[in-house]
Structure 1
Amino acid sequence: MYIILTMLLLGILLGFVGAGGAGFVIALLTLIFDIPIHTALGTSLAAMAFTTLSGAYSHYREGNIQLKSGLIVGALACVASFAGAKIAPFIPEGNLHYLTAGMLFLSAVFMMIKLFVLKEETEQQPLSSRQLLVRGIILGLVSGLLSGMFGIGSAPFIQVGLLILLRLSIRQAVGTTMLVIIPISIGGGIGYITEGYVDFILLIQILIGTVLGAYIGAKFTRLAPKLLLKSAVLLTPIIAGLLLLF
């Protein structure tokens, strides 16, 4: 019951900021509930497939998803995530905490640069079909591999890529990221299942809380002031990374 309630609150936050939340789930499972890191990685990544499905549907209804971009990035990310999950078991458990935390901090740095340092461009030339395909493939491969290796949805990396490479607005980036994370978590989850690192009882407990929470949280994205949304997107990976270091 404690896991379910914790994941419900977390799901509301994740739906709001458009993140799959595997990094946050990993941090809470290892720090509070003493779950082994590889099991936490695999189970949280598998759970994201359902958590983000709920949040993505809600974002789609709110008009926050750029469908074509999401499908291109997601398809490549699914394959790369499976490959990354096959690499993760070779990373020593002691190092995995720090590597995952480091990836979360790095993603926060990129997000801060884009959201608070670079000026937001109000008018940009639309991408050609070729540009969209090439940039989408690159973003999908990179974000998928990182997700599979470190058990995180790499939402901030995806959001930065969507903002800079594919020129989406902040709200479109938040919503489309939720869509992209679905195939990422499916590919990575299957990879971790084949390695024996998914606890299905724990998976159900996580899902009960996060699926409901993500659907609720997505309802607030369009209503929130842009500064609040940007701050929440930035702080989420930072807090998750700090928890992983304890």
Structure 2
Amino acid sequence: MDLTLAAIFLATGVFAGILAGFLGIGGGLVVVPLLSVVLPWAGIPDDKVMVIAVGTSLATIVFTAISSTYTHRKNHNVVWPAVFSLFPGLMFGAMLGATLGSQFSGKLLAIIFGCFCSFLGLYVVFGKRYVRPVADYAHSRSWLSLIGFVTGIISSLVGIGGGTMLGPALIWLGLEARKAVGTSATCGLLIAVFGSISYLITGVNETNLPEYMLGYIYLPAFFGIIATSVLFAPVGAKMATFFSEKVIRISLGVALTASAIKMFISI
């Protein structure tokens, strides 16, 4: 593997890890757009670039999310009743989204990615919260499971991690920004596990792929990104405890908007 590519993958892991911990977004906002540019240099066919970028992104998120979730748990920023209520929908949605994503064209995946990032970016910065008691998260299991199902499908389709959608959704439901970040990071781990396994399975029989592939997961990018992302995810998680809710919301909105612009330009 070219040393330049290796350096890019390592640097991507640094930014992905920090964003995963700080904003609870799983790092996919950095990984997917960057891989969509870099993978053609590694000999990936153009029609497979987006699906491999998404599959690889989800696989790296597994390890990044483990690291950031551990730190958020220590800081008491994970609302476990919400996680348990979201789990069934997240699991089935992630598997369905990966199955659909492996069939969609790269252009369609890029459009879906850009549209949702644009909408969520605007909402996070300008939207208003609907305040509800935290206890509701433990009792509204069917409602939260539906949210998890939709989140799982979309997140697995575009490899952006559950936090990208769940963070804003939990803020809208009234959860404090820090706890929304910690809870969404934990849910992002569940999406990444089931989504990446599905991309691995659906890509096993694909013949038009280069070396070093495991299903739709590009192993050099995977190992390069996780080598640094797992080290920097705790750094981002600690950063989240020192910044105000307003700063976290604006940062998440900027990250979403920038990622959307990148994908629209690439179409």
Q: Which amino acid aligns with 2:161?
A: G
C-alpha distance in structure 2 between counterparts of 1:24 and 1:9, whole Å: 7
Contact 2:152–2:191 (8 Å) recurs in 1: yes
- C-alpha separation in 1, matches of 2:224 and 2:137: 42
Q: 1:151 deviation in Å?
A: 2.2
Contact 1:111/1:156 (8 A) holds in 2 = no
8 Å contact kept, 2:13–2:229: yes
Q: Which residue in 1 is equivalent to 2:255?
A: 236
1:152 — aligned with what?
160
- Aligned residue for 1:11, secondary structure, equals helix
Shift of 1:108: 1.5
The corresponding residue for 2:244 is 225
Report the AA paired with residue 225 of structure 2.
Answer: I
Distance in 1 between residues matched to 2:130 and 2:99, nearest whole Å: 38
Aligned partner of 2:115 in structure 1 is 102
1:89 paired residue number:
102
Cα displacement string for residues 129-157 of structure 1 (whole angstroms, at most 9, x for unaligned residues): 77421221111111001112222214232
2:220 counterpart letter in structure 1: I
Query: Could you say which residue in structure 2 is the equivalent of 1:25?
Result: 31
User: Are residues 145 and 223 of structure 1, via their aligned partners in 2, closer, same or farther at CA, if it must alter by over 3 Å?
Assistant: same
Displacement of 1:158: 0.6
Corresponding residue for residue 14 of structure 1:
20
Structure 2-normalised TM-score? 0.83
Q: State which drifts further: 11-20 or 175-184.
A: 11-20
Instruction: Please state if 1:185 is matched with 2:192.
Output: yes
- Where does the alignment leave 5 or more consecutive residues of structure 1 unmatched? none
For the structure 1 residues 65 and 23, does the alpha-carbon distance in structure 2 shift closer, same or farther, using more than 3 Å as the test?
Answer: same
- 1:176-208 CA-partner distances (Å, limit 9, x unpaired): 000000110111101100122112232111111
Superposed counterparts of 1:200-215, under 5 Å: 200-215=219-234
The answer to whether 1:65 aligns with 2:84 is no
Is residue 130–residue 172 contact of structure 2 (8 Å, CA) maintained in 1? no
Amino acid at match of 1:227: K
Q: Distance in 2 between matches of 1:54 and 1:126?
A: 25
SS at match of 1:102: helix
Kept in 2: contact 1:111–1:157 (CA 8 A): no
> Which whole-Å CA distance do the structure 1 matches of 2:149 and 2:58 have between them?
17
Report how far residue 239 of structure 1 moved.
Answer: 1.4
Q: Note the C-alpha offset of 1:112.
A: 2.7
Q: RCO higher in 1 or 2 (8 Å CA, sep ≥ 6)? A: 1
Q: Which is worse superposed, 57-66 or 73-82? A: 73-82
Match of 2:56?
43
Q: CA RMSD in A?
A: 2.0
The equivalent of 1:195 in structure 2 is 202
Give the stretch that moved more between structures: 71-80 or 211-220.
71-80
| In structure 1, distance between residues paired with 2:129 and 2:32 | 33
- Asked if the contact 2:23–2:240 (Cα under 8 Å) also holds between the matched residues in 1, the reply is yes
Q: How does 1:164-175 map to 2 (within 5 A)?
A: 164-165=172-173, 167-175=174-182
Gaps of 5+ in 2: 1-5, 204-215
